[in-house]
Amino acid sequence: MLDDTAVENKGEVVYVADPKLLSWCDAVPVFRQRACLTHALIASYGLLHKMRVVPSEAASEEDIRKFHSQEYVEFLQRGVPEEEDEGAQDEFGLVCGLAGGSLTAARELTSGRTKIALNWCGGWHHAQRDMASGFCYVNDIVLAVLHLRSAFPKVLYIDLDVHHGDGVENAYLFSPKVVTLSLHRREPGFFPATGAVEDKGLGKGKLFTFNVPYKEGINDKQFVYLFESILYPLCEVFIPDAVVCQCGADALSQDPLGGGNLTLKAYTTCVTHVANLSKPTLFLGGGGYNKSNAAKLWTAITSTVLKCPVSAEIPEHQFFSWYGPDFELEVTAGLRKSSNTQESLDQTIKAVHGNIEKLAEVLGQK
């Protein structure tokens, strides 16, 4: 349950959550209970009292149609027979509910009521304009960016999920107002098999798309090296008015679908850099198929954004048993060897820096 007293506490950080949003998120079959796990862990550390908790307002059909095609919206309204797709939802209200969390957070930012908003029930970055993909039915990120642009002309989208943020990239492929920056695993057979470093956008949006692919087993040092080497040079050229950061947890060690070897430290370091940009920022969830580890990550990021350190020992609460046998807020790296080398990382960085230099020329900075 939500702690109602937290709603009255005014803080610099807005946290979007309410029982309906949590239940909508938990209704997605592959993520059952993950939203409640995350919320309960954040609450157990007393972090709700340090944020302004805002209930989500479901997206309207009009909101959904701002990105998704009429045919696809009608398809969602009809629902999909279970025998065709076990992951599909019968109620259009559910997808509107899921999309509403990120729109609610975006409205808090555009209103000026906050500089940082969190929605761990958001981050559905694979949904395309006219089709579902990768457990994502409505692209809440694209809808949130569309709303943010009503107040902030230039938006930087950062994707830390192990899977390429293809749906968001495709939505803004032709836009010079939204830069998409995705760090992701890219190898033959790994979903969604997109996001090559050579993919830079199209038309007026050419050079506004940045892909940073890596290989299986990436570790903290390598991931942070990539991120730090690219974020600041990019932001010196494309100076964003607002930032959206998708924090998919599936690059963590022990994720059954990710193949990464990150700990919480890699993510919290990157999040600190994003917060240091001092722009209105929306932090979102995403993938994460080890549910307790995803809850740990988003709790750690919440703590980082609040600049409120928490104990390594997880407090006793209703889902305490999920965190055994150590009951600690930590995700240890595994023994998996990284397929990335210093040479391969530097080659990627060199290619991305080349794209940044070309973007600087386009923007008249060189």
Among candidate residues 70, 73, 162, the one with its CA nearest the CA of residue 125: 162
How far apart CA 28 and CA 109 sit, in angstroms, is: 27
Poorest-pLDDT segment among 1-10, 16-25, 266-275 = 1-10
| pLDDT (0 to 100) of residue 126 | 73
Average pLDDT, the chain: 91
The CATH code of the domain that includes 284 is 3.40.800.20
Buried b / exposed e along 102-116 (16+ C-beta atoms within 10 A): bbbbbbbbeeeebbb
Total structural domains in the chain? 1
Reported as half-sphere exposure (CB side, CA atoms, 13 A), residue 246 has a value of: 37
The two three-digit tokens of residue 234, written as one number = 């990019």
Q: Which residues are catalytic?
A: 126
* Cβ count within 10 A of residue 321: 10
pLDDT in tens, 297-343: 999 999 999 999 999 999 999 999 999 999 999 999 999 999 999 99
Residue range of the domain that includes 133: 4-362
Among candidate residues 153, 171, 204, the one with its CA nearest the CA of residue 362: 204
β-sheet with 209-214: strand ranges across: 52-54, 13-16, 116-119, 281-284, 242-246, 155-159, 178-185, 209-214
pLDDT in tens, 168-222: 999 999 999 999 999 999 999 999 999 999 999 999 999 999 999 999 999 999 9
pTM of the model: 0.92
